[in-house]
Structure 1
Amino acid sequence: MLLQIHEIEALLQVKRNIERSISNPITIRSLLRGTGFSESKLTQGFKFLFQYTVHRYHLTISMEYAYSLLADDMPVKEVALKLGYKSQSHFNRSFRQVFGIAPSHIRRDIDAVE
């Protein structure tokens, strides 16, 4: 895939928009605004440039933020709510998908080190 400079700049803006939306759900449609991309151009270009799908990037950075909150002793339920999850079990599944462990293990692991 060959991307032009203006397309790279637009994809970098999409990436920044995702990073500002850690606590909010995102849609491809909302990310398309102002880019001039089709849905397929956005998703293919994003994956090409950043080696992540749009959804996977949003999930990964959201869960990294969640990890830092958990490490700072925020309860799992509060972290889930802060990240916009209506269900703690859905948050638990997402966290496990990224890190391979339940979020409740983060606090225990930190306590064991201290």
Structure 2
Amino acid sequence: MIEEKIEYWHNPIVPDIELSKASFQHFEFDQHIHLDYHIGVVTQGGQKYQHKGESYHLGKGCISTLNPDEAHNGQSVEDEGYQANVMSIPISYVNQITSELNIKEQYFSSPLSWAPDLHQAFLHLHRNLISPYAKQEQLQIETSLMAFTTELFERYGSVKTLNHQQHALSYQQVVDIKSQFHDEMHNVFQLDDLAAATGLSKFQFLRQFKAATGMTPHAYLKRIRLEYAKKALIKGEPIIDIAQQVGFFDQSHLNKAFKKAFLITPSHFQKRVL
């Protein structure tokens, strides 16, 4: 039986990039989003996930390229489980690379691609980034990371087109609500207030927000809080302060939500990445 776990790394050469290795058998990811680009491969078994209403199967030789703020889930294809390596690349890093190299594509057109060569290149890069000797190979790592990121966007990038699908809840209203969640995550939000601000009933607002984002407002806000909590943990901030900053009632509530989402407690995650 595969042990259900996620291990995390943080390399000071590229301090904003999060690295992880995971083993899952029965654990399933609920619908969620990320703040950064998430690149992943499986090294054993296979993972299936739903993304914008379509089903995808991540197996060996494939590479998963998930954009920020795109809802998806995840679970094992087989009863035996699967193992995966993941790298989280911040938007700021991608913007810097694409700007310096005059690449316009900053959005992956598909969440999954068959690319055996990039699958192997990713595993090699991931292995180097988590190596205890990484500091001795700083130039090689920086060069490899830039080359890998550039290749990904040159092959699979596309210009992002905004979805102006006609809902009573407009595209701009969705953007404004998301921005409010990001900027005021420490606040308590009431469904009545969110719905009233859009001119919709609570039922209409819930249904249309989920249709637009793939997640309920509560699930979206909770994930935002957890994503920002991870970034604060990497900076070494006290966990009790982080819980208050990102909007959890107390440290216990943060611990419970963090463990459910990432299979590791905030304190253990912080020890891994500092």
TM-score with structure 2 setting the length: 0.37
Structure 1 counterpart of 2:239, from 76, 79, 84:
76
Aligned to 1:96: 259
Aligned to 1:4: 167
> Which stretch shifts more, 78-87 or 41-50?
78-87
Letter in 2 for 1:92: N
Residue by residue, what CA displacement relative to the aligned partner does 1:30-61 show, whole Å, maximum 9, x if unpaired?
Answer: 21232111111111111111011110100001
Change (3 A) 1:106 1:10: same
Q: Secondary structure of 1:23's partner?
A: coil
Aligned to 2:223: 60
Report the CA distance between 1:19 and its aligned residue: 2.1
Alignment of 1:50 onto 2:213: yes
Report the CA distance between 1:5 and its aligned residue: 7.0
- Hey, which of these two has a bigger chunk of strand by percent? 2
User: Is the 2:169–2:198 contact (alpha carbons within 8 Å) kept by the matching residues of 1?
Assistant: no
* RMSD, aligned CA: 1.9
Structure 2: 5+ residue runs without aligned partners?
1-164
> Which stretch shifts more, 94-103 or 68-77?
94-103
Give distance in 1, aligned partners of 2:266 and 2:204. Answer: 35
> Which stretch shifts more, 74-83 or 84-93?
84-93
Aligned to 1:23: 186
User: Is the 2:169–2:205 contact (alpha carbons within 8 Å) kept by the matching residues of 1?
Assistant: no
Give the 4+ runs in structure 1 shifted more than 6 A: none
- Hey, which of these two has a bigger chunk of helix by percent? 1
Give distance in 2, aligned partners of 1:6 and 1:103. Answer: 36
Say how many residue pairs are matched.
110
Q: Which has the higher contact order (CA 8 A, sep 6+)?
A: 1
Give distance in 1, aligned partners of 2:254 and 2:173. Answer: 30
TM-score with structure 1 setting the length: 0.83
> Which stretch shifts more, 18-27 or 48-57?
18-27
